[in-house]
Amino acid sequence: MTGTSDVTAWTPAVPGVREVFHARFTEHAYPPHTHDAWAVLILDHGAIRYDLDRRHHGAAGTSVTVLPPYVPHDGRAAVSTGFCKRVLYLEPDVLGDDVIAKAVDGPTFADPELRHRMDQLHRAVAEPGDELAAESRLAFVRERIRQRFAAEPDGQPGRSAPGKLADEMRSVLDSHIVDGITLERAAGLLSAHPTHLVRAFTRRFGLPPHMYLTGRRIDLARRLLLAGLAPADVAVRAGFYDQAHLTRHFTRYLGVPPGRYAAAPR
């Protein structure tokens, strides 16, 4: 690497996401290389130029770039100030082999909605304990990308009517308030496509599954705090990743952190 370079990378506990990569480069240029995963890229600043399969491309602004696995590409800044990017490396089966040719033909497209969903997904994978939220957002990102590539829709979305499916999903969530459950596993239990499952639940109950689960955990945390447990213990018993995770959500829901809630005058 040359010039100014800042890189952050990690592996989140989100099925389908192999790596999260955030970087700021001014002069660094990638040599031709390939990945064995899909790379979905958004830019926060600057612009890039790149060659994919020996064809010239560029990206800037609200564009989203989807680079397929095993196809050679490079990358470099298109402006003197460099670029900041956020990338998700997705397992090959997340988007599927059937859209690789479409991605080679047109890897970058302007899509503010997809750009917004990608931003939400990056924020979700950055917070340990919010994996169900990240899975839900990934399902919609996947659907949107496949729509952009005009892919054939996935099979039957679910065996149940939307209302029945939503009720079944609520029962599943209620059974896993503390230990949690992945969207992938819930969809398998209910024989439903993940995106259809999230849509059906949201339509019936007015909020997505991950927000419902967080609300149930907050209810449990309130009871435990009022019973005299310390916030650190409550975090574990109510299904939160750690005390910081509990505090962030508790304050967002109730306006005060857990310690102040429990210490308020009766």
The pLDDT value given to residue 2:
47
CA distance 233 to 85: 38
pLDDT at 236 over 60: yes
- Does one domain contain both 170 and 61? no
User: Are 28 and 75 spatial neighbours (Cβ–Cβ below 8 Å)?
Assistant: no
- Does one domain contain both 185 and 216? no
- Could you list the residue range(s) of the whole structural domain that residue 67 is in? 5-148
Residue 156, domain member (yes or no): no
Stated pTM of the model: 0.85
Mean pLDDT of 5-27: 92
CA distance 219 to 174: 12
Residue 64, domain member (yes or no): yes
CA distance 22 to 199: 30
- Does one domain contain both 182 and 101? no
> What tokens were used for 264?
């308020």
**How far does the chain reach from its first CA to its final CA, in angstroms?**
59
- Does one domain contain both 107 and 76? yes
User: Are 180 and 187 spatial neighbours (Cβ–Cβ below 8 Å)?
Assistant: no
Q: Where are the beta strands (DSSP E) in the chain?
A: 5-10, 17-25, 30-33, 38-52, 55-60, 63-67, 73-77, 83-90, 108-110
Residue 179, domain member (yes or no): yes
Residue 238, domain member (yes or no): yes
The pLDDT value given to residue 1:
41
The enclosing H or E element of 237 equals helix 231-237
* Mean pLDDT rounded to a whole number for the chain: 91
Residue 157, domain member (yes or no): no
Q: How many domains does the chain have?
A: 3
pLDDT at 158 over 50: no
- Does one domain contain both 185 and 253? no
Is residue 138 exposed (0-12), middle (13-18) or buried (19+ Cβ within 10 Å)?
buried
Q: Percent of the chain having pLDDT more than 90? A: 79
User: Are 46 and 78 spatial neighbours (Cβ–Cβ below 8 Å)?
Assistant: yes
Residue 94, domain member (yes or no): yes
Residue 27, domain member (yes or no): yes
pLDDT interval class at 24 (50, 70, 90): very high
- Does one domain contain both 112 and 14? yes
- Does one domain contain both 229 and 176? no
Type of residue numbered 242: D
The pLDDT value given to residue 78:
92
**pLDDT tens digits, one per residue of 118-149:** 999 999 999 899 899 999 999 999 999 999 99
